[in-house]
């Protein structure tokens, strides 16, 4: 039969030579067709001449294979020569081969491969009669990789010729007198690449059962000498499946990307690794998981995702800040924020707020609550890693004492040019709020309060009862924070490149309006670029990343949530002509719309750029240079125009202006040496850090404008009230080294050392040494273990210990400082001291210890990790009390106090169902932390005596204890510990802690064909501030002229002696402050929150292709959708009755790849 031979020449499904993406055929279509015709004609002519001497049957289900009769060698040569000419320029395309077989005849495996790949098999004689049944499991494997596995235990091998798989016999091993001849030694040269032919530089090649090991160079090439003929090579590379390869197939070794989560690439300090080989504690979130969340701040995407990390939002106002804490609070008085790096470059402002003017972001008071992370586009992020233990952080020295957040941005990839468009729109609304009293309940409360206080309501103290309409009711929650914010997010990127140059260029636009009555949008536009280049010989590489973001945040002058508690019968806020209204029937009232007239505007721009170069001097020795620059500018304006002021008040129009700039540059030369040493791979990295950060700030307050139209001009003001400026400079230098030794991917040692120098300490104290050691034993690589415990596919024990420092203190604190005085001398201004010098204070030290076990079951479908950590921070920098005669209350100095954070972290992930069209994965994590002040000599006489207790947490509640409601007075009663009859320091006691007892997250992802549903919950068991905290700290007690939560109707009365809350009163007594400082205003703030829900549908490739698209996806996303908590409607995360809760977000989007 002629079909078997002709079939592979004139294949129906695809041409013989098909160039891969990015290449062009070396033969024109006309020449290809001519060659096809010549081959076909030659075969047919030879067949006619020799009749049935030329035939071959295709593989049949019977398994019977008729041999191909002997054909003259000249015919073979003619056909193969022409065929080789046709495909000489072709590369083997990566095919996705999926086979599940158990003891299946090999001819059936051939049929599946022909069907899935389009390739044909060619064989002669009865070579297949000696084949063995095949048991194999392949998923998305490349064709060469699949064939390598199939032929591993067969008496024959294969060779790829164009799109034909030629089967040939393995050469037998000669025997002599019943014994095998001594095997020949030979030199093996080969190349290791991925499925697309890209060299895998640094791949490890080990001769199985021996100490012989080498690594692939930049071209992926390797060489081994004195290797026995029957040796097997074990080839491994980060992120790829380890393969065992016979010498016959070692010339070209293809590795497939691993599907195990253990082999996912994980970014670490100055490099990458995998979860399988990492000796440190690193948590990560991928860009894909970030993209499922409709958030404008990347920190919002981290909540509940990583064990050991607590993320807390300050308020729901767009642009607000987030607090992040890694493994607890380490310092009593100094900073606990982690080091933040973007593509290896320190983010200049860190996570410190960048606003200095009061606004809704700061809830009406001056603070720093405009988050710098609003200037980072979440869609530009490839991954975020959290480095936690000493092994992971010590190489960053003192800057990594509180952990490290690594942000890696997206990079270009080789291949055809791709255009990605992603657009989504949606809306936002306020989250959890408390139910308030209705009009009847409110008026009844007011009247009862006056009766309880023996007071008489008048127009001046009770206009709501005496002057305003008793039937008018307004729900101010609906009017002031009940609006619907609109959200638009558009992303565009273009990427592609060749093996030498890859690029990515992108841009984005984001706009989110407020739930307050005015739109007041928060907008952001950004552009980003990434360029990778590698020389043809792969000796030189260059990477450039740059992004620029410009944003503008407009919001109210204060958070209007506070004004939702106005009397529900308060008159309207506008006059018929549209001006603000302030009085009715002679009674004045507050008008919250004044803060919309005032307004607040913040403009920011952020530039981040980095350049990374490397040059390989010789194999294994590489010089590197990393450079980067970051600058973030902020310009704030707060206007108080005459139109926002009551005409009955004496205030005049005023404006506030603030400018801020944070800039930093970083240069890090490095040298890396990689070589095989004995049975292991040695990786040595050394380098230096040169870093400088500058901060600038200017503030001016002016007043007395003749018109509101000129309020943004300082020159138009009649009075300059305040003007100030500040500048600081921080310099940091270091040298560092890391030695990693990996023996057979079984025993791993990681040593780190760093010498830091910081300008924040005085002469002689500026330098300190830090270091760490990390150990790992992958015990499942032991042969004896594999035989005994087959269900355990992966097991690793790891431990680390190290010392890091902490220099998170203000600049220049070791120096005397002075500030302008209010007095003059002979007409000249004076200076007065503001701080005393202390050149002797030095670094805090953090000693970190960790032990962990990582396990994988059922071929890594079930993964489990358990970590125990203990961090002890000593040499604490605290305020030391001074005698009053010095003129200063205290001075910053080191003190032998010790703070300990310890706990357990658990993580679990499981592929519950994993089939071709349906999958279900679950991941969960939990952290059980404990913070303790272990030691603080002399704390009783220090400034911290009323704040902390030795043996307790830094977050302990040290306040008055609530006993219940006094049956006589009807008011809250507190414990008088010392029996003095009044409440004082002697009555304070420990009443719990604000530290979370347990926190974590749970994620479920279900995929069916093109549909994907992801549901993520985060949870926290904690004590927190309840709604009474806000009420009593602002002395807005039940009974005064403010609406209250409806739960307060359960108050103490003669007819209600079992009430939960004290009686109403119209006057705030002395007991109010005591209650505010008691445990009555704290309660269980535990919660479970449906943090994210994402539903998407991807069009089938056949449909996308017809639309000239690479892929298309539509999706629905939601954030902060539901919260379960015992806090009576108060948001358990922000814990502020008068602050806007985190917003619920709903979006619908479309993503296209062209």
Whether residue 921 has pLDDT greater than 90: yes
875 φψ region: left (φ > 0), alpha (ψ -120 to 50), beta (else): left
CA distance 781 to 900: 36
Q: What is the mean pLDDT of residues 350-371?
A: 78
Average pLDDT over residues 409-427: 93
Looking at residue 98, what is its pLDDT? 81
Residue with tokens 């309006």: 513
Segment among 10-24, 223-237, 1024-1038 with least mean pLDDT: 10-24
Burial class (CB in 10 A: 0-12, 13-18, 19+), 782: middle
Which one-letter DSSP state was computed for residue 240?
B
**Would you state the structure tokens that stand for residue 299, as one six-digit string?**
């920190």
At residue 7 the predicted structure's pLDDT band, cuts being 50, 70 and 90, is very low
3-class secondary structure for 886-924?
HCCCEEEEEECCEEEEEEEEEEEEEEEEECCCEEEEEEE
pLDDT at 10 over 70: no
pLDDT digits (tens, 9 = 90+) for 475-485: 999 999 999 99
| Residue 114 in tokens | 């022909």
CB 1023 within 8 A of CB 1085: yes
Q: How many CA atoms lie within 13 A of 622 on its CB side?
A: 23
- State yes or no: pLDDT of 181 exceeds 90: no
For position 172, what pLDDT does the model report? Answer: 55
Domain boundaries, the chain: 1-172, 287-345+357-409
E-assigned strands of 535-571?
A: 540-555
User: What is the pLDDT at residue 127?
Assistant: 66
Distance CA 634, CA 637 (A): 10
Per-residue confidence (pLDDT) for residue 832, from 0 to 100? 84
Average pLDDT value for the chain? 85
Angle between helices 106-117 and 143-150 (to 10 degrees): 180
Classify residue 1010 as exposed, middle or buried by CB count within 10 Å of its CB (0-12, 13-18, 19+). middle
Q: Which of 638, 654, 658 is nearest to 698 (CA)?
A: 658
DSSP string, 41-80: HHHHHHHHHHGGGS--PPP-TT----------HHHHHHHH
**β-bridge pairing 583-584 and 501-512:** unpaired
Res. 896: pLDDT tops 70: yes
Any residues with CB less than 8 A from the CB of 585 and at least 6 apart, and which?
459, 463, 467, 468
pLDDT band at 885 (very low <50, low <70, confident <90, very high): confident
Percent of the chain residues past pLDDT 90, beyond the cut: 53
Contact yes or no for 587/459 (Cβ under 8 A): yes
Higher pLDDT, 181 or 1120: 1120
- Mapped onto helix, strand or coil, the DSSP state of residue 875 is coil
List beta partners, residue 927: 905, 999
- According to DSSP, residue 296 is labeled S
Whose CA is closest to 277, among 260, 290, 299?
A: 260
Residues 906, 929 contacting (CB under 8 angstroms): no
Residue 820 buriedness (CB in 10 A; 0-12 / 13-18 / 19+): exposed
Q: Are 322 and 299 in contact (CB under 8 A)?
A: yes
CA distance 583 to 409: 55
For residue 368, what pLDDT is reported?
53
- Residues of 964-994 as b/e, b for ≥16 C-beta within 10 angstroms? ebeeeebbbbbbbeeeeeebeeebbeebebb
Q: Are 869 and 281 in contact (CB under 8 A)?
A: yes
Q: Angle at the Cα of 340 (from 334 to 342), degrees rounded to 5?
A: 165
Task: Report the C-alpha gap between 1125 and 478 in whole angstroms.
Answer: 23
Overall average pLDDT of the 578-602 stretch: 91
Which residues are bridge partners to 554 per DSSP? 601
Task: Tell me: pLDDT of 649 over 80.
Answer: no
Highest mean pLDDT: which of 58-72, 823-837, 1056-1070? 1056-1070
Nearest CA among 626, 679, 494, 570 for reference residue 1043: 570
Fold observed for domain 287-345+357-409: Ferric Hydroxamate Uptake Protein; Chain A, domain 1 (2.170.130)
Region for residue 344 given its phi and psi (left: phi exceeds 0; alpha: psi -120 to 50; beta: otherwise)? left
CB 1027 within 8 A of CB 945: no
Dihedral-angle region of residue 934 (phi above 0 means left; psi in -120 to 50 means alpha; beta otherwise): alpha
Can you tell me whether residue 935 is helix, strand or coil?
strand
Strands 998-1008, 282-286: parallel, antiparallel or unpaired by DSSP?
unpaired
Confirm or reject CATH 3.55.50.30 for domain 1-172, answering yes or no.
Answer: yes
Say whether pLDDT at 63 is over 50: no
Distance CA 40, CA 79 (A): 9
Burial class for 179, CB neighbours closer than 10 Å (0-12, 13-18, 19+): exposed
Q: Which strands, in side-by-side order, build the sheet including 221-228?
A: 221-228, 185-194, 252-255
Answer left, alpha or beta for residue 719, where phi above 0 means left and psi between -120 and 50 means alpha. Answer: beta
Residue 698 pLDDT > 90: yes
Spell out the residues 6+ positions from residue 471 whose beta carbon is closer than 8 angstroms to its own: 439, 569
DSSP assignment of 404-418 equals EEEEEE----SEEEE
Confidence band for 449, pLDDT divided at 50, 70 and 90? very high
The two structure tokens encoding residue 535: 């020389």
Evaluate if residue 828 carries a pLDDT over 50: yes
Separation between Cα atoms, residue 372 and residue 320, nearest integer Å: 9
Q: What 8-state DSSP symbol labels residue 466?
A: H
DSSP 845-862: EEEEEEEEEEEEETTTTE
pLDDT bucket at 606, cuts 50 / 70 / 90: very high
> Looking at the predicted structure, is the pLDDT value of residue 43 above 50?
no
**What is the average per-residue pLDDT within 244-264?**
82
């Amino acid at each position: 039969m002629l079909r078997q031979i002709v079939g592979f020449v004139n294949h129906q499904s695809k041409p013989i030579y098909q160039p891969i993406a990015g290449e062009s055929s070396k033969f024109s279509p006309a020449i290809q067709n001519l060659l096809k015709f010549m081959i076909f004609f030659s075969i047919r002519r030879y067949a006619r001449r020799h009749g049935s001497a030329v035939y071959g049957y295709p593989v049949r289900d019977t398994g019977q294979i008729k041999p191909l009769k002997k054909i003259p060698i000249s015919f073979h040569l003619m056909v193969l020569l022409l065929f080789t000419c046709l495909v000489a320029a072709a590369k083997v395309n990566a095919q996705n081969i999926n086979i599940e077989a158990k003891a299946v005849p090999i001819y059936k495996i051939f049929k599946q491969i022909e069907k899935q790949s389009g390739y044909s098999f060619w064989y002669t004689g009865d070579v297949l009669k000696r084949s063995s049944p095949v048991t194999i499991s392949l998923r998305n494997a490349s064709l060469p990789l699949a064939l390598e596995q199939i032929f591993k235990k067969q008496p024959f091998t294969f060779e790829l010729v164009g799109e034909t798989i030629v089967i040939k016999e393995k050469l037998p091993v000669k025997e002599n007198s019943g014994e095998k001849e001594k095997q020949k030694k030979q030199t093996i040269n080969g190349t290791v690449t991925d499925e697309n032919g890209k060299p895998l530089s640094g791949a490890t090649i080990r001769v199985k059962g021996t100490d012989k090991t080498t690594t692939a160079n930049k071209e992926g090439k390797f060489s081994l000498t004195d290797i026995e003929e029957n040796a097997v090579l074990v080839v491994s590379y980060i992120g790829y499946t380890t393969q065992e390869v016979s010498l016959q197939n070692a010339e070209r070794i293809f590795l497939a990307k691993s599907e195990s989560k253990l082999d996912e690439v994980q970014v670490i300090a100055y490099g990458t690794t995998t979860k399988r080989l990492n000796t440190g504690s690193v948590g990560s979130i991928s860009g894909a998981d970030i993209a499922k969340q409709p958030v404008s701040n990347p920190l919002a995407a981290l909540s509940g995702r990583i064990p050991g990390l607590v993320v807390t939002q300050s308020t729901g106002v767009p642009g607000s800040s987030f607090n992040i804490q890694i493994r607890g609070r380490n310092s009593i008085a100094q900073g606990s924020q982690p080091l933040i790096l973007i593509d290896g470059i320190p983010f200049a402002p860190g996570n410190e707020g960048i606003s200095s003017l009061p606004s809704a972001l700061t809830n009406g008071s001056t603070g720093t609550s405009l988050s710098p992370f609003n200037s980072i586009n979440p869609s530009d992020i490839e991954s975020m890693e959290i480095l936690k233990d000493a092994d992971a952080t010590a190489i960053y020295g003192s800057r990594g004492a509180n952990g490290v957040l690594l942000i890696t941005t997206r990079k270009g990839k080789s291949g055809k040019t791709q255009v990605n468009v992603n657009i989504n729109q949606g809306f936002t609304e306020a989250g959890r709020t408390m139910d308030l009293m209705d009009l009847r309940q409110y008026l009844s409360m007011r009247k009862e309060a006056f009766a309880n206080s023996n007071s008489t309501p008048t127009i001046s103290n009770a206009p709501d009862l005496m002057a305003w309409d008793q039937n008018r009711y307004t729900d101010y929650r609906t009017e002031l924070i009940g609006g619907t914010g609109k959200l638009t997010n558009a992303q565009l990127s273009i990427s592609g490149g060749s093996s030498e140059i890859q690029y990515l260029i992108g841009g984005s636009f984001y706009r989110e309006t407020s739930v307050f009555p005015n739109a007041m949008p928060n907008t952001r536009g950004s552009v980003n670029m990434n360029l990778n280049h590698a020389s043809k010989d792969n000796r030189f590489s260059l990477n450039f990343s740059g992004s620029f973001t410009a944003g503008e945040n407009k919001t109210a002058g204060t958070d209007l949530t506070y004004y939702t508690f106005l009397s529900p019968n308060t008159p309207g806020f506008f006059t018929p002509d549209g001006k603000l209204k302030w009085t009715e029937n002679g009674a004045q009232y507050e008008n919250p719309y004044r803060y919309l007239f005032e307004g607040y505007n913040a403009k920011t721009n952020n530039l981040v750029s980095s350049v990374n170069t490397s040059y390989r001097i010789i194999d294994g020795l590489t010089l590197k240079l990393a450079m980067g620059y970051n600058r973030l500018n902020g310009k704030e304006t707060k206007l108080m125009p005459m139109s926002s002021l009551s005409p009955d008040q004496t205030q005049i129009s005023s404006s506030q202006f603030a400018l801020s700039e944070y800039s930093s540059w970083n240069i890090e030369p490095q040298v890396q040496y990689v070589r095989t040493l004995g049975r292991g791979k040695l990786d040595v990295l050394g380098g230096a850090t040169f870093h400088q950060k500058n901060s600038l700030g200017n503030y001016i307050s002016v007043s007395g404008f003749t018109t509101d139209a000129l309020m943004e001009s300082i020159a138009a003001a009649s009075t300059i009230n305040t003007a100030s400026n500040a500048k600081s400079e921080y310099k940091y230098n270091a040298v560092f080294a890391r030695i990693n030794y990996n023996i057979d991917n079984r025993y791993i040692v990681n040593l780190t050392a760093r010498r830091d120098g910081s300008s924040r300490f005085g002469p002689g104290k500026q330098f300190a040494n830090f270091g760490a050691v990390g150990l790992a034993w992958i015990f499942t690589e032991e042969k004896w273990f594999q035989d005994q415990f087959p269900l355990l596919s992966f097991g690793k024990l790891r431990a680390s210990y190290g010392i890091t420092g902490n220099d998170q203190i203000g600049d220049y604190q070791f120096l005397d400082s002075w500030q302008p005085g209010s007095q003059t001398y002979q007409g000249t201004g004076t200076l007065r001291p503001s701080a005393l010098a202390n050149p002797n204070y030095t670094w805090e030290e953090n000693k970190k210890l960790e032990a962990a076990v990582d396990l994988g079951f059922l071929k890594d479908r079930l993964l489990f990790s358990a970590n125990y950590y203990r961090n002890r921070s000593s040499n604490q920098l605290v305020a030391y009390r001074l005698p009053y005669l010095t003129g200063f209350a205290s001075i910053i100095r080191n003190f032998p106090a010790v703070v300990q954070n310890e706990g357990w972290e658990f993580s679990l992930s499981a592929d519950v169902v994993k089939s071709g069209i349906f999958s279900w994965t679950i991941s969960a994590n939990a952290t059980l932390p404990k913070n303790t002040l272990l030691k603080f000599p002399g704390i009783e006489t220090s400034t911290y005596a009323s704040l902390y207790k030795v043996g307790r947490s830094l977050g302990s509640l040290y306040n008055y204890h609530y006993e219940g409601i006094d049956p006589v007075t009807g008011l809250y009663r507190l414990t008088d510990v010392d029996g003095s009859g009044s409440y004082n320091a002697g009555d304070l006691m420990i009443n719990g802690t604000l530290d979370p007892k347990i926190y974590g997250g749970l994620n479920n992802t279900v995929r069916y064909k093109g549909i994907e549903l992801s549901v993520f919950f985060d949870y926290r068991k904690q004590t927190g501030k309840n709604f009474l905290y806000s009420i009593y700290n602002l002395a807005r007690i039940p009974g005064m002229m403010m609406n209250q939560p409806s739960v307060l109707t359960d108050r103490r009365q003669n007819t209600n002696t079992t009430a939960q809350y004290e009686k109403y009163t119209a006057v705030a007594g002395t007991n109010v402050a005591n209650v505010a400082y008691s445990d009555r205003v704290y309660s269980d703030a535990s919660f479970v929150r449906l943090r994210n829900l994402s539903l998407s549908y991807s069009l089938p490739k056949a449909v996308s292709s017809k639309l000239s698209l690479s892929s298309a996806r539509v999706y629905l996303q939601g954030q902060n959708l539901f919260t379960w908590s015992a806090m009576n409607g108060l948001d358990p995360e922000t814990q502020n009755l008068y602050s806007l809760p985190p917003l619920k977000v709903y979006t619908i989007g479309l993503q296209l790849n062209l």
